[in-house]
Amino acid sequence: MNQEEKIRHSLSHILAIAIKEKYPEAKLGIGPAIQNGFYYDFDNLNISEEDLKEIEKRMKHLVKQNINFEKKEISKNEAKELFKEEPYKLELIKEIPNETVSIYKTGNFIDLCAGPHVNSTNEINPNSFKLQKIAGAYFRGDEKNSMLTRIYGLAFESKEKLDEHLEMLAEAEKRDHKKIGKDLDLFSFHPEAPGCVYWHPKGMIIWNLLENFGQEIRKKYGYQKIKTPQIAKNDLWITSGHWDHYKDDMFIINTENEIYCIKPMDCPFNIQIFQTKQRSYKDLPIRYTEIGHVMRNEKSGELNGLFRVREITQDDSHVFLREDQIEEEISNLIQMIHEYYGALNIEPSFFLSTRPDNFMGEIKTWDKAEEDLKKVLTKHNINYGLKEKDGAFYGPKIDINVKDALGRSWQVATIQLDFQLPAKFKCEYIDENGEKKTPVMLHAAIFGSFERMTGILIEHYAGNFPFWLSPVQVSIIPVGETHKDYAYKVKEELKEFRVEVKDEAETVSKKIRESATQKIPYIITVGDKEVENHTISVRKRGNEDLGEMQIQEFINLEK
RNA sequence: GCCGAUGUAGUUCAGUGGUAGAACACUCCCUUGGUAAGGGAGAGGUCGAAGGUUCAAUUCCUUUCAUCGGCUCCA
């Protein structure tokens, strides 16, 4: 463990000391080092963010005292005696598999902690850390446990690194898709429809471009577009098993003594289309793709801008195939993902999500499915992480995550290998011996949802979309009244691009400022000189003067 | 859903126990301009909502809705 992690560990310890001094009735939870800092959980602690300043001050004072950390190994029985007033520590002690546990002693304060810590607080710069925020967190991450008060701190080796990180957070705030979405007039949210996006004209341009781009890739890989109903009787989800697993998170409509659900996913409908004909082994794989509008009643506290919505639009797809086609078909999907994310210049991270506790089917089938997925990942030389027990109830999956401006990881694409639902619905095809067989099903989304992907792209580009994705690509500014006609003539010649003419009676400077603020890739100015020479003066986003040029010359720039 | 924070004009924000203010945007007038804000005037707000305390609440209290940062969850 490096010095920075030791510092973070030690500071969480110091935080506990400061809290226990001021709030002796508080009970200790866990206090680990994390990325960029540390936290500590406490029960029976009622504080607000106001109080953090004072606690931080006390921590700085303690750090300056050159306190030594003494590590000691003691028996579990001794530890139980030592922490008899600390119920959460007792529970942790119980679960430690070793005979002994390690404790750290600083003055009168003793903490149960594997460490390591710095030897003395003189190794810590008192200006290199900062208490950040308060949050609730369930003990051991389990909703059934009580909620503790978690205090987060940022901590680095030096003040410079802390400042750098704070600077990064300030920059991330500028890239926030919710802010840029408002500034660039892309979308809005309204209290009457929480978690549902209102797409404005410019946002819709991006949406449509992404949709067309995705559909082109789909077409290339042999997908056929379909569209299925928005609501259906709950029988459908009872059969699929979703009713059992998710009925509390579905929007339900009671009418004429029947229960209808707004669809939370598309799979059962795709299966129904598959079943409208008798299928031959020669027909497979059958590849359906659907822009799926699904609704899930995500808990209010989980909603988050475009990243987490209740009305979700997926670039969904379902493939019905034979077992011998699994490997090749998943390979194709991975190839599609590389094409898609490569074109957008986004780095995807891969994860294998394995059998959850509430799985459906036989363990043997699951093991095989997981092996199949691993094999393809290995074949593509993909380094992947493991998300244990994170698969869907009907099958394991390959999840693809990308990061937002704050470095948070969000799942976008997913490839799910499903041996269960086709059987549940009694899907069949006739094999070469004339026998009925159950097909395998792949569920896959390439960019996940339009909502989340747009949010990610906004933050990724900080609103400076590549030319092809920019809602307005060119802004033409006539210098004076007399140049308006020429400006519109230029617009006509640039009709293959999305062009706006700023012909308001305002100064050139002001119009340039407005266009630049809107992050438009090119600003064209036309005045006497350009009219006379039949040219345009071009300025590229980022304040780059490309000078005067022929219109055709400009068109060639972005061809 | 839980913990913490926030909510004032279209937007970004000031402000106050005596029913509100700036900048930008908007409308009109003047200005006809050469690379990031030309000048003037005007309009715009039941201070998120509902209760309560008070002679008086945007301000204090309670409840509620929405948003943000976490936790949990994510088919």
Quote ipTM for the complex: 0.96
pLDDT at A95: 86
* Distance (Å, whole) CA A129 – CA A59: 10
Quickly state the pLDDT bin for A211 (edges 50, 70, 90): very high
> Across all residues in chain A, what is the average pLDDT?
96
What is the number of other CB atoms lying within 10 angstroms of the CB of residue A218? 19
Angle between helices A50-64 and A3-22 (to 10 degrees): 120
A135 CB and strand B closer than 7 A: yes
Judge whether A338 and A456 are in contact, CB under 8 Å: no
Angstrom distances, CA of residue A480 to CA of A212, A227, A477, A528, A533: 39, 51, 9, 9, 17
Query: What separation in angstroms does the CA of A524 have from each of A297, A404, A504, A512, A546?
Result: 47, 33, 15, 9, 10
* pLDDT tens digits, one per residue of A411-427: 999 999 999 999 999 99
**Is A377 strand, coil or helix?**
helix
CA distance A30 to A204: 46
Q: How many CB atoms lie within 10 A of CB A347?
A: 10
* Distance from residue A288's CA to nucleotide B1's C1', rounded to whole Å: 36
C1' (B32) to CA (A481) span, angstroms = 6
Q: Which of residues 139-158 of A touch strand B (CB under 7 A)?
A: 141-143, 147, 149-150, 152
User: Which of residues 155-194 of A have CB within 7 Å of strand B?
Assistant: 176, 178, 182, 189, 191, 194
Are A498 and A474 a contacting pair, CB within 8 Å? yes
A189 neighbors A198 (Cβ within 8 angstroms): yes
Residue with CA nearest to B72's C1' atom: A143
Q: Is A57's CB less than 7 Å from nucleic acid strand B?
A: no
Instruction: Report which of A153, A158, A184 is spatially closest to residue A11, judged by C-alpha positions.
Output: A153
- Please report, rounded to whole angstroms, the spatial distance between the CA atom of protein residue A301 and the C1' atom of nucleotide B66: 11
DSSP one-letter string for A89-103: HHHHHHH--SSEEEE
Which amino acid makes up residue A259? I
pLDDT greater than 90 at residue A334: yes
pLDDT digit string, tens, across residues A156-191: 999 999 999 999 999 999 999 999 999 999 999 999
The strand pair at A100-106 and A109-112 is best described as: antiparallel
Percentage with pLDDT > 90 across chain A: 91
Q: A546: Cβ under 7 Å from strand B?
A: no
A32 touches strand B (CB under 7 A): no
- Provide the pLDDT for residue A115: 75
Which nucleotide lies closest to A528 by the C1' atom and the CA atom?
A: B34
Reading the block at residue A535, the tokens are 């040219």
Catalytic residue positions of A?
267, 296, 314, 316, 318, 397, 443
pLDDT given for residue A1 in this prediction: 66
Output the distance from A400 CA to B72 C1' rounded to whole Å: 22
Name the residues in A453-492 having a C-beta closer than 7 Å to nucleic acid strand B: 479-482
Collapse the DSSP code of A243 into the 3-class scheme (helix H, G, I; strand E, B; otherwise coil) and give the result: helix
The tens digit of pLDDT for each residue in A105-144 reads 888 888 998 878 899 999 999 999 999 999 999 999 999 9
* Nearest residue, CA→C1' of B3: A136
At position A282, the amino acid (one-letter code) is: K
Nucleotides of B under 7 A from a protein CB: 1-5, 11-12, 25, 30-38, 65-75
Cβ of A313 less than 7 A from strand B: no
Neighbours of A137 (CB within 10 A): 16
What DSSP assignment string belongs to A318-371? EEEE-GGGHHHHHHHHHHHHHHHHHHHT---EEEEE---TT--S-HHHHHHHHH
A311 half-sphere exposure, CB direction, 13 A CA radius: 10
SS3 state at A39: strand
Length A176 CA → B69 C1' (Å):
13
Please state, in angstroms and as integers, the Cα–Cα distance from residue A529 to each residue in A49, A270, A493, A503, A533, following that order: 60, 61, 18, 18, 6
Contact flag, residue A298 CB and nucleic strand B, below 7 A:
yes
Per-residue pLDDT reduced to its tens digit, A11-57: 999 999 999 999 999 999 999 999 999 999 999 998 988 899 999 99
Cβ of A250 less than 7 A from strand B: yes
Q: Is the CB of residue A407 inside 7 Å of nucleic acid strand B? A: no
pLDDT at A96: 84
Tens of pLDDT, residue by residue over A258-287, are 999 999 999 999 999 999 999 999 999 999
- CA of A367 vs C1' of B9, distance in Å? 61
Q: What CA–CA distance (Å, rounded) separates A397 from A417?
A: 6
What pLDDT does residue A237 have? 96
Positions 67-126 of A with beta carbon below 7 A from strand B are none
SS3 percent helix, strand, coil of chain A, rounded to 5, is: 40, 30, 30
Nucleotide nearest to A266 (CA to C1'): B75
Kindly give the interhelix angle for A450-461 and A201-220, rounded to the nearest 10 degrees. Answer: 110
Q: Is the pLDDT of residue A406 over 80?
A: yes
Q: Nearest 10 degrees: CA dihedral of A306, A310, A313, A317?
A: 120
